[in-house]
Amino acid sequence: MKFEEYLDRDMLAIDVANTMAGALENILFTHERATLVVPGGTSPGPIFDVLSAARLDWDRVDVTLTDERWVDETSDRSNGALLRRRLLVNRAAAATFKPLYREGMDVDAGAATATEGLTPYLPVSVLLLGMGADMHTASLFPGADGLEAALAADAPVALPIHAEGQEPRISLSAQVLDKAMSKHLVIFGAEKRAALERAASLSPQEAPIAAVLDDLTVYWAE
């Protein structure tokens, strides 16, 4: 794990977006297409704003989410809606979005459909993750129903997750996230920094972020 500290969140957003654009460009030199996987939540919006303007062959980029809340895109809880608003605009509007949410399906059927649909796009080329102060990443919440299956070495690409106090969710599995070719994590604030330090000595069952720490670059600002 590599730790990069920033004086402010704006500088961090510019730098992370440029790093991710560079990583995508490198993949596109040698591969026909690249797969970009990003989280929802509140942290990545400013990164999306910068990344969406990057000069890249966006029409050769497939984009999906690390996880999704099982709500339709009219909900302000929808990560897909966030992506459409903040990432899949400007130059990045030419990218192909593969949503995890499927209207009219329950989360189990949605996870099976996502597993089938995303398999040809693996491994993930460039991955951005977020993390909660409880050390969850994607929708891999400690104690969640579905966590054990999602941490298995032979886990499917996507699984349903039911965590206390959350709507049903779909998450990419730990093995899919961990095998990404270029891995980045963005966290803000002292509480998350301390949680990440603690996670390094815990099991993925206790601290799911621990399942993806190899070769991960962490970007942090207060």
Q: How far apart are CA 180 and CA 127, in angstroms?
A: 6
Q: Environment class of residue 30 by beta-carbon count within 10 Å: exposed (0-12), middle (13-18) or buried (19+)?
A: exposed
Query: Judged by CB under 6 A, does residue 178 bind ligand 6PG?
Result: no
Which one among 19, 35, 43, 78 touches ligand 6PG, defined by CB under 6 A? 43
By rule CB under 6 A, what count of residues binds ligand 6PG? Answer: 15
Write the CA distances from 149 to 50, 110, 143, 191, 205, integer angstroms: 35, 16, 12, 28, 11
Query: Judged by CB under 6 A, does residue 35 bind ligand 6PG?
Result: no
Both structure tokens of 17: 């977006």
Write the CA distances from 142 to 133, 134, 148, 208, integer angstroms: 11, 7, 10, 6
Give the residue with the Cβ less far from ligand 6PG, 64 or 137: 137
Q: Which residues contact 166 (CB under 8 A, 6 or more apart)?
A: 69, 139, 141
CB of 175 to ligand 6PG, least distance (A): 17
Which one among 5, 10, 31, 42 touches ligand 6PG, defined by CB under 6 A? 42
Which one among 39, 146, 156, 204 touches ligand 6PG, defined by CB under 6 A? 39
Question: In the range 129-158, which residues lie near ligand 6PG by CB under 6 A?
Answer: 130-132, 136-138
Binding site for ligand 6PG (CB under 6 A): 39-43, 66-67, 69, 79, 130-132, 136-138
